[in-house]
Structure 1
Amino acid sequence: MTCTGVYWVGPVYDMGGYGNVSRNYLRALEAADIPVYIAPSMATRHNTEIGEETVNWLERLSTGNIGDRPVCVQHGVPAHFHMHRPSVRVTGTIGVTLFETDRVPVDWPRLCNQLDEVWVPSKFNYDTFSRSGVDASKLRVVPYPIDVTRFYPGRPYNRVVFSPPLRNFSFLYVFGFDFRKGVDLLIYSFCREFERTEDVSLVLKVYVHSGYKPEDVMAVIRTYVPADRLFSQIFVIVEPFGEQELIDLYLSCDAYVSVDRAGWGMPAMEMMALGKPAIGLNWGGYTEFMNEDNSVLIEPEKELVPVDAKLQSERPEYYYSHMWADIRPDRVGGAMRELYEDRAKREKISRKAAFDVHFEYSPSVVGSRIKQLLGMR
């Protein structure tokens, strides 16, 4: 595919994971000097959480001068790829997407095969998409970039103040409110591993999607947390945070932990780029950028298990008959215990994590990969 620019369709103003990824891909296009016209997804609006500086950058970056052979890139879920028709003639259409189970939703192969290419962030998704029926000749692995000018070790920050204060060591989990994110498993694993008298905290930063109310989200999470630990050892944040506030939170905590069967795992990657130790699952998208040298991996059971029945019943179009990794609470707790007690290991993997992320996933590195795929010099 040879093109002169990119017509980008994506949720660029959203504070959630898809919006973050869209903006990071745009930074990669900028780093590679690829002209781009930005067409926000139909469902998105300007979101003040991303900050005025970021909004202004997006507006400066977008240009109508994308040449006579632009390619359209649709970022999101395949069901939405047909919802926005480019206002200019394009030479081809690329879909950018991912999924977190052992296969993709039943209609995705048909939708993906209608495109010229499909970009997925990991070898894991290359395998799951191709096994599900997506034409392997259309698949390209294009990892998610990260803005290393904002996420780097030693950067200044304002410590987030908790009342009562966090204990001497704190774990952080950042996630969008959704049953599939496994926050109930993480809370159970933490409480099983650590006594309430131990000098360790767990911080949960919840992104509350539209359609939910913060008080309702808080009510659900309260059912998972023992009353004597809530806001004494386990802290929950449901208030909106801007980008800088989120970085301040990352740097105010000592380590990251996730039990998400992630399609990628951007918060873990961001913590690693900041020089913080991270725990993730040795399955799914995490395996693209996490390994035993730069992180602590939770080893899942050898056999996959059906996706939770609640997800299958509530979202059958996405999860019916799907499988994913089986995670034992003792292994989650063991990984947290290892980081909590082994300072030397924390320091070692943190240094390697920051090095790996900065040198393999910067906008310039990923931008070069994109420029090559687009046939641009």
Structure 2
Amino acid sequence: MTCTGVYWVGPVYDMGGYGNVSRNYLRALEAAEIPVYIAPTMASRHKTEIGEETVKWLESLSTDEIGDRPVCIQHGVPPHFQMHRPAVKVARTIGVTLFETDRVPGDWPHLCNQLDEVWVPSKFNFETFSRSGVDPGKLRVVPYPIDVTRFYPGRPYNRIVFTPPLRNFSFLYVFGFDFRKGVDLLIYSFCREFDRTEDVSLVLKVYVHSGYKPEDVMAVIRSYVPADRLFSQIFVIVEPFGEQELIDLYSSCDAYVSVDRAGWGMPAMEMMALGKPAIGLNWGGYTEFMNGVNSVLIEPEKELVPVDAKLQTERPEYYFSHMWADIRPDRVGGAMRELFEDRSKRERISRKAAFDVHFEYSPSVIGGKIRQLLGMN
């Protein structure tokens, strides 16, 4: 059945990863000229951080004119899909979600199978969801789009000034504070690979989520960093950044590095769109848009290992008995060393990265795929 519009439920005002993804999907709907009504979740939590311009765009995009056969698209985690029921009659209900381990939480298959469709961003998640019991017939791979009008090589920016200044070459990692992000592994790998006298810096931009305080987050990260490297070679930012400040930070650094077992890896994708070289794990969501010719991939061990014990203890409903990739510090350091020393490779993969992201993941490309899935072509 052809749909006439979309009733979108998601954290569109949130500054974190889910909010970013929701807004990018909405840009894809806009590019595909699909009318959309926006029903925000967590409506006011980070509304000021995304910027007045973005707030106005969301308000102008949302319309009541979504026709008599709209579909409801719920973006988030399956346990939250039933928390906001559409105020209009819908023809279909679609969930948009992901997960970063070898399987999904125990109640997710049942919740997903109650929907008409489930959109996941990668073939990796198609496999993990179906292997966990989600009906493969309901699963669709719909990659995350990116706003290529904001992320493109050579775009103007205001350089972020550090005190003392960054060294001649700088790596950046952007992440929400969580033990699953592997910042301790990254810091250890960096310090193991690079001497404190080498002309290279590591910048950590941390999103401090609810439940944590910036000073507590800083204390944890300080415990990982040798005292003589903190704010001399390794820089930590816990202050909130808006969208433009984040782009300025991306542009002020030379390369991106992540050890996150990512469900997708949007910051890496954004850096690639800007024409910057990126390092990611050859496992999980990264494999959807990163490869050996547009990035540097860290090869994990052949055997998976149990998810971090802290996560299994603190969030057993999500992570108990789950497995994920095993990452060796020497391989992380080796990938960083390779980018640091090989300028020609940095330039080569950066050009390919920007080309691939712009031509495969723009809102117009993903919007066209969504139109097809909704039967609007």
For the criterion TM > 0.5, the same-fold answer is yes
Separation (CA, whole Å) in 2 of partners of 1:45 and 1:202: 30
Q: CA deviation at 1:309?
A: 1.1
Contact 1:207 1:240 in 2 (8 A): yes
**Mapping of 1:124-143 within 5 angstroms?**
124-143=124-143
- Residues 195-228 of structure 1, C-alpha deviations (whole Å, 9 max, x = no match): 0000000000001112211111101100000000
Per the TM alignment, residue 2 of structure 1 is displaced from its structure 2 partner at its CA by 2.1
Give, in angstroms, the shift of residue 45 of structure 1. Answer: 3.6
- Mapped partners of 2:257, 2:42: distance in 1: 33
Which letter maps to 1:374?
Answer: L
Match of 2:241 in 1: 241
Aligned CA-pair RMSD:
0.7
Q: Answer whether contact 2:15 2:46 (CA < 8 A) is retained.
A: no
Q: Give unpaired runs (5+ residues) of structure 2.
A: none
Corresponding residue of 1:146: 146
What is the match of residue 263 of structure 2? 263
1:110-154 C-alpha deviation (Å, 9 max, x unpaired): 000000000000000000000000000000000000000000000
Does residue 105 of structure 1 match 2:105?
Answer: yes
- State how far apart, in whole Å, the 2-side matches of 1:306 and 1:46 are: 33
Unaligned runs of 5+ in 1: none
In structure 2, how many angstroms separate the alpha carbons of the residues matched to 1:57 and 1:271? Answer: 23
Q: What whole-Å deviation, never above 9, does each CA across 1:224-252 have from its counterpart, x for those lacking one?
A: 00000000000000000000000000000
Q: Which residue number in structure 1 is paired with residue 122 of structure 2?
A: 122
2:224 partner SS: coil
- Letter of the 2:106 counterpart: V
Equivalent residue, structure 2, for 1:67: 67
Question: Where do 4+ consecutive residues of structure 1 move more than 4 Å?
Answer: none
Shift of 1:43: 6.2
CA distance in 2, matches of 1:250, 1:74: 30
Alignment check: 8 A CA contact 2:126 2:140 kept: yes
Spell out the pairing of 1:10-29 with structure 2 (5 A cutoff).
10-29=10-29
Which amino acid counterpart does residue 135 of structure 2 have in structure 1? Answer: D
> What is the Cα deviation at residue 46 of structure 1?
5.2
Matched, 1:197 2:197: yes
- CA offset digits 1:282-317 (Å, max 9, x no partner): 000000000000000000000000101111111000
* Conservation of the 8 A alpha-carbon contact between 1:5 and 1:71: yes
Q: Which residue of 1 aligns with 2:351?
A: 351
Q: How many residues are treated as equivalent by the alignment?
A: 377
Q: What letter matches 2:160 in structure 1?
A: V
Indicate the residue corresponding to 2:33 in structure 1: 33
The amino acid of 2:313's aligned partner reads: S
1:94–1:156 CA distance, 2 compared to 1 (3 A):
same
Match of 1:324 in 2: 324
The change in CA–CA distance for 1:92 and 1:44 in structure 2 (over 3 A counts) is farther
Note if contact 1:255-1:277 (Cα within 8 Å) is conserved in structure 2: yes
Q: Distance in 2 between matches of 1:159 and 1:195?
A: 26
TM-score, L = length of structure 1: 0.99
Percent identity of the aligned residues? 90
Alignment partner, residue 223 of structure 1: 223
Contact 1:299-1:331 at 8 Å conserved across structures: yes
Q: Residue 174 of structure 1 corresponds to which residue in structure 2? A: 174
